[in-house]
């Protein structure tokens, strides 16, 4: 079996920045064990698998199946690997059967996923993803005090919220906190796993207010840690911003925001809360590797 495979850096316009995802084009469904083995082999935070629908090819089809796997397990939602998948369909020259099929011809592609239908459309040099909005609810800090201590130490915390839908805990640092404090955090993955083993929390977002008057004017910053999925730190996380967008929109009184996830690779996301209760996440992507996986 031969599978077309790509590596895409998402939420960046530069190679080796943003969040890398592997993307596989699947002609026919595989066994779950094989999906997981491929993701473990790629050893990136997520590997995405695009499958055809209604016997349409990858160039002319407008609807596809999409699944995401970390090196350890399948996940219900992944933003950067969705962006990467759309980039492959819109930008890449692929060979299904001769002759070459060049770029997907549709203005919008629809992915059928565990989180429902996700639409992605082109807009200039960016791709815009139609995602659910997962606004978090306030969380009693005392109930997670040991976990908070392991993540942010003695830094002053402004809010702690929890998204039941995504199982993500969001920790907002005080406005007086310097960005350098956020970027210097180094939580120990094994410690987080020891402290939280109930399955209630699958990822922790640490965020703080940005500097919207500066250039380029980020409304907020964040980092994301998910050792429960085998990801000590995810470089840029679309699903985390489905949680962050609702929180910061209310705090800042804004529906359009520019966010920066300040991992070592870094990545930029444009966010817009829509009137229908969903979220547009915009970003760029760079395809850096194209090849064939032989099994």
Closest CA to 249 of 217, 274, 222: 274
Among the options 46, 196, 233, 268, which is catalytic? 46
User: How many whole angstroms separate alpha carbon 229 and alpha carbon 203?
Assistant: 8
Could you confirm whether 143 is annotated as catalytic? no
Alpha helices in the chain (DSSP H): 32-42, 79-91, 145-152, 179-183, 189-195, 238-252
User: Tokens 């790509």 — which residue?
Assistant: 6
| Residues involved in catalysis | 46
């Amino acid at each position: 079996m031969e599978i077309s495979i790509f590596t895409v850096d998402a939420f960046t316009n530069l190679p080796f920045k943003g969040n890398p995802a592997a993307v596989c084009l699947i002609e026919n469904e595989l066994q779950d064990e094989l999906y997981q083995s491929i993701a473990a082999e790629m050893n990136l935070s997520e590997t995405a698998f695009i499958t055809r629908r209604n016997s349409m090819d990858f160039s002319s089809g407008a609807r596809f199946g999409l699944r995401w796997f970390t090196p350890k397990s399948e996940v219900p939602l992944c933003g950067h690997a969705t962006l990467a998948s759309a980039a492959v369909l819109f930008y890449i020259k692929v060979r299904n059967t001769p002759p070459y099929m060049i770029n997907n011809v549709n203005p919008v592609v629809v992915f059928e996923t565990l989180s429902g239908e996700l639409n992605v459309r082109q807009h200039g040099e960016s791709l815009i993803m139609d995602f659910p909005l997962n606004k978090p609810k306030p969380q009693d800090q005392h109930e997670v005090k040991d976990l908070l201590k392991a993540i942010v130490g003695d830094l002053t915390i402004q809010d702690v919220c929890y998204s039941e839908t995504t199982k993500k805990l969001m920790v907002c640092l005080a406005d007086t906190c310097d960005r350098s404090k956020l970027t210097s955090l180094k939580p120990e993955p094994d410690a987080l796993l020891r402290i939280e083993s109930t399955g209630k929390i699958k990822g922790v977002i640490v965020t703080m207010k940005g500097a919207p008057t500066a250039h380029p004017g980020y409304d907020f910053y964040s980092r994301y840690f998910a050792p429960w999925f085998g990801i000590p730190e995810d470089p840029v996380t679309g699903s985390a911003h489905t949680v962050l967008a609702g929180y910061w929109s209310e705090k800042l009184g804004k529906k359009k925001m520019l966010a920066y996830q300040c991992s070592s690779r870094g990545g930029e996301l444009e966010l817009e809360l829509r009137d229908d209760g969903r979220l547009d996440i915009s970003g760029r992507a760079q395809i850096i590797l194209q090849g064939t996986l032989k099994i």
